[in-house]
Amino acid sequence: MPKGGEIINVGSIQVYDPSAEILDYATTKAAIVGFTKDLARKLLEKGIHVNCVAPESVWTPLVVASFSKEKNSQFGSNYLIKRPAQPRELAPAFVFLACGVDSSYVSGKLLAADCFSIKFSFGFELHTKFIFFLYYRRGIDIANIDCVILYDLPKNIRTYAHRIGRTARAGKHGRSITIVEKERLTMFRATIKTYRRNKLKHMNITKEDFSYMLNDYQKALEIFSSKEQKKKLKKNK
């Protein structure tokens, strides 16, 4: 494979939530995820990216062959949009990784392509067709994105507009939520004052709203900090 190539493996949400009926399948998919991460490291010097897409419930021949008629009739009904995805609906996730332009900084990652619902304590749900974890770049045109959530506040209005207005929706009208620490709220208001047009709604979110996430979040920070330290030590050698 030439430099700049993109390898995309297909995993599954079964890696995290395996079904007893297809445990062998889930185990194989878990192996693919591990293989993806290891191969990404080995091919990095050759300029080749290796990633993995992990779909949730997708209507495929494997589903029909694996479950009973009764279970197949209910397949995907417990998810947000009450049905399984069709293979063509996962195409944007593969295009994102295959193009090599928008995904130039992504390698060794597991990209979850699923129907996802985030319910906040202040009373509404955000529904998105695809959730891109870890990395995204502006200008990705994916249909049916209801909301863009921004948790990294940029320093200027131009960058802010690009992130919430060009990511996923590519300029289409929509809704966005910006999560801002209390200490940075004044700066945020000053940044968008000229552009707000009275369409902003302020919502207070307390630590208690996210208390159930704190342990996992702290572990993630520790892992990230450890990896960054290793990178610095390697760079200084």
- The predicted-structure confidence for 100-158, as pLDDT tens digits, reads as follows 766 777 888 887 765 443 333 323 333 334 333 333 444 445 555 566 667 667 677 77
CA-CA-CA-CA dihedral for 52, 214, 151, 207, to nearest 10: 160
Between the alpha carbon of residue 22 and those of residues 16, 164, 193, the distances in Å are 13, 40, 54
| Residue 191 predicted with pLDDT over 60 | yes
Lowest mean pLDDT among 20-24, 159-163, 181-185: 159-163
Answer whether residue 32 shows pLDDT above 90. Answer: yes
68 lies in the same domain as 174:
no
Judgement on whether residues 13 and 111 belong to the same structural domain of the protein: yes
Which tokens in the block code for residue 176?
């966005």
Give yes or no: residues 9 and 106 share one domain.
Answer: yes
The torsion angles phi and psi of 220, rounded to 5 degrees, stand at -65, -40
Of the three residues 104, 137, 170, the one that is the final residue of a domain is 137
Q: Name the nearest CA neighbour of 176 among 187, 165, 188.
A: 165
pLDDT at 53 over 80: yes
- What is the rounded average pLDDT for all residues in the chain? 72
- The terminus-to-terminus CA distance of the chain in angstroms comes to 31
